[in-house]
Each structure stands twice: as C-alpha cells, then as structure tokens.
C-alpha cells in the first residue's frame, strides 16, 4: 500500500506544471549577477603576485635578519674599535645572504613549487617572486649594516660599499651555483657550509692579510666584484631557465 501511494505521488509531482517564474525576482537576480561580474578582480599583475608571496615566506627569515642586525649593531657600536667596523661588514655580508638563500633552497628541499601549479604564473616567475623577496630583505639588511659601519669608521663610503658588495655577490653566486647543481635534500647544507666558510675566510683574511684592505687593492676588489656579478647573473639565468624541470624531481 505504501509503495502504491509513493508511486502515485511521484506521478502527480511529474505531471504538475512548475510554478510560473516571478518576473521581478528574475530581474533582481540578473542585476545581482551583473554586479558580481563587474566587481570581479582584474588579472593579477606580477607585482601583486610578489606581494601575495610574502605571506608564504618563512617568518624565521625576518627574525634571523633582525637578530643579525642587532648583533651587528652591538659589536659595531660597543665592542669593536672605530677602525675595525668595516672588518665586521666583510664577515657579516655572507651570513646575511645565507639567510635569504634559505628561502630559495626551501623549494629544493621540500618541493614547494608544485603547490603553485594552479597559478597562471610559470615556475620561473614563481622563483623570480621568491628571489625578489629574499633579495629585498638581504639588501635592506646590508644597507643597515653599511650605515652603522659608516657611522663608526673613517673609511670612505665608496670603499665600504665595495667591502660589502664583494662578499655578498661571492656568497650569492656560489649559492646559486650549488642550487643549480645539487638538487637534493642536502642542498641547503652545502650552501650553508659555503657561506659560513666564506665568512670565516673573511674573518681570517682581515687579521692575517691586512694588505687586501688597503686602498692600493681597490682595483683587485673591483675586478673580483665584476667577475662575481657576471657569475651571479649567469647562474640566476640558469636557475630560471631550468626551473620548469623541477617537476621531474617531484615525487
């Protein structure tokens, strides 16, 4: 009996005509749809995409850079002599670059790039966004170090810039060289060992080879800077060129 009534209700439901549409509600619905369409966000620009990537950056990057600046300011203003300020800049520059490189090497360690595949941006653009963020943070940190050093030393501002840029580009170019050729979980350890070794070499050189930091050696420093910038540009181009191949390493 119950099945018979259920069948009758189904037949009645199918034979009954649907209620006539409300013209006023239909017009309101169409108007809302037009408004929703007009308020849709426009196509995201590369600059907006870079800004949106900031929230994905590991917060330890900013914390470690701030801690490095605090320690640098403490040693420069309270511990070192006036003539030794630039020496600490040579030692600290590779460490500042190392903190920024950690954001790039994180993609190699944890395969973060596949999370961005739904984006309309290509993998080279994604790496570019992360590189820009890390480079801006490193530049701000090094600029603050340079200003603190200039306030405590008699060296010219141009010489201080040179003493800061050379170890920075040596650290950056070497790190990109390792990133392009070591694509495994140990990549960050190789980069860390290189940057720490470069910093230690700078610390030893300022005490054992003081002639390197004489005004007569400025030409040699400029030559090293030009070579390191060239290697840096080449390795950066290779990183963006080969970034699409990262998908082959995604498990």
Per-residue b/e over 37-54, b at no fewer than 16 CB within 10 Å? eeeeeeeeeeeebbeebe
Residue 187 is predicted with a pLDDT of 80
pTM for the full predicted model:
0.71
Q: What is the pLDDT of residue 65?
A: 87
> Which pLDDT tens digits describe the chain residue by residue (251 residues)?
656 666 765 665 555 555 555 666 656 666 665 555 444 444 556 677 777 777 777 777 788 888 988 888 888 777 666 555 567 888 899 999 988 887 777 665 555 554 544 455 666 677 777 788 888 888 899 999 888 888 877 777 888 889 889 999 999 999 989 888 877 777 888 888 999 999 999 888 877 887 777 777 888 999 999 999 999 999 988 887 776 665 444 44
What was the pLDDT predicted at 165? Answer: 92
pLDDT given for residue 1 in this prediction: 60
């Amino acid at each position: 009996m119950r099945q018979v009534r259920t069948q009758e209700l189904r037949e009645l439901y199918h034979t009954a005509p649907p209620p006539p549409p409300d013209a006023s509600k239909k017009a309101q619905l169409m108007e809302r749809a037009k408004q929703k369409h007009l308020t849709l966000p426009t196509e995201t620009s590369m600059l907006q995409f870079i800004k949106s990537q900031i929230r994905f950056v590991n917060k330890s990057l900013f914390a470690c850079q701030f801690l490095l600046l605090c320690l640098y300011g403490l040693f420069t203003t309270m511990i070192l002599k006036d003539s030794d300020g630039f020496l600490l800049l040579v030692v600290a520059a590779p460490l500042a670059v190392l903190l920024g490189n950690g954001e790039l090497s994180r993609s190699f360690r944890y395969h973060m790039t596949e999370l961005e595949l739904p984006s309309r941006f290509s993998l080279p653009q994604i790496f570019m966004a992360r590189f820009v963020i890390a480079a801006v943070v490193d530049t701000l940190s090094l600029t603050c170090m340079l200003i603190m050093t200039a306030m405590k030393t008699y060296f010219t501002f141009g010489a201080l810039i040179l003493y800061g840029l050379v170890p920075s580009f040596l650290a950056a170019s070497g790190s990109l060289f390792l990133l392009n050729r070591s694509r495994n979980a140990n990549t960050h350890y190789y980069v860390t060992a290189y940057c720490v070794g470069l910093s230690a070499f700078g610390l030893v050189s300022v005490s054992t080879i003081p002639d390197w930091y004489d005004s007569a050696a400025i030409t040699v420093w400029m030559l090293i800077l030009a070579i390191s910038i060239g290697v840096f540009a080449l390795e950066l181009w290779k990183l963006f060129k080969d970034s699409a191949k990262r998908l082959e390493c995604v498990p």
